[in-house]
């Protein structure tokens, strides 16, 4: 089988035009923002949301601390206030217990129930927020 170099070149040009148009389509969507901008925005939002370490989840289960929407909102607000004040590691203290939160990473590191709070010393925190 012989290859026609001319047609191959034309196919090549058509292919490059196709990929160029496709790349431009990926760069913008209906709102005019690039995929990278959207990805960065989603990553930022995910970082800003409060998460729990495996240790904290285990402590919640062991200590029968029930997480609900109201408690999560209270925790988010407390962490937000601590962040505004420049806190790094905060003890958020409430009726349900104490939540130790690493503020820069928005991660609940551990929790303590009301029973665990008696005769305990908290270390490695720089702030406390009461909720």
Write down the pTM of the prediction. 0.64
Q: What is the pLDDT of residues 54-89, one digit of tens each?
A: 999 999 999 988 889 999 999 999 999 999 999 999
Q: What is the pLDDT of residues 83-97, one digit of tens each?
A: 999 999 999 999 889
Q: Does residue 110 register a pLDDT over 70?
A: yes
Question: In which band, very low, low, confident or very high, does the pLDDT at 1 lie, cut at 50, 70 and 90?
Answer: very low
Contact 93, 58 (CB under 8 A): no
Encode pLDDT of 16-48 as tens digits.
444 444 445 455 455 667 888 887 777 666 666
H/E segment holding residue 90: strand 89-94
CB 26 within 8 A of CB 35: yes
């Amino acid at each position: 089988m012989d290859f026609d170099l001319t047609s191959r070149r034309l196919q090549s040009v058509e292919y490059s035009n196709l990929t160029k148009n496709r790349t431009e389509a990926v760069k913008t969507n209906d709102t005019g923002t690039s995929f990278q901008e959207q990805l960065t925005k989603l990553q930022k939002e995910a970082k800003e949301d409060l998460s729990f370490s495996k240790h904290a989840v285990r402590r919640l289960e062991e200590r029968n601390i029930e997480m609900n929407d109201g408690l999560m909102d209270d925790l988010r607000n407390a962490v937000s206030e601590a962040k505004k004040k420049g806190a790094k590691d905060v003890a958020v203290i409430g009726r349900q217990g104490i939540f130790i939160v690493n503020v820069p990473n928005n991660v609940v590191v551990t929790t303590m129930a009301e029973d665990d709070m008696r005769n305990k010393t908290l270390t490695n925190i720089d702030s406390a927020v009461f909720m």
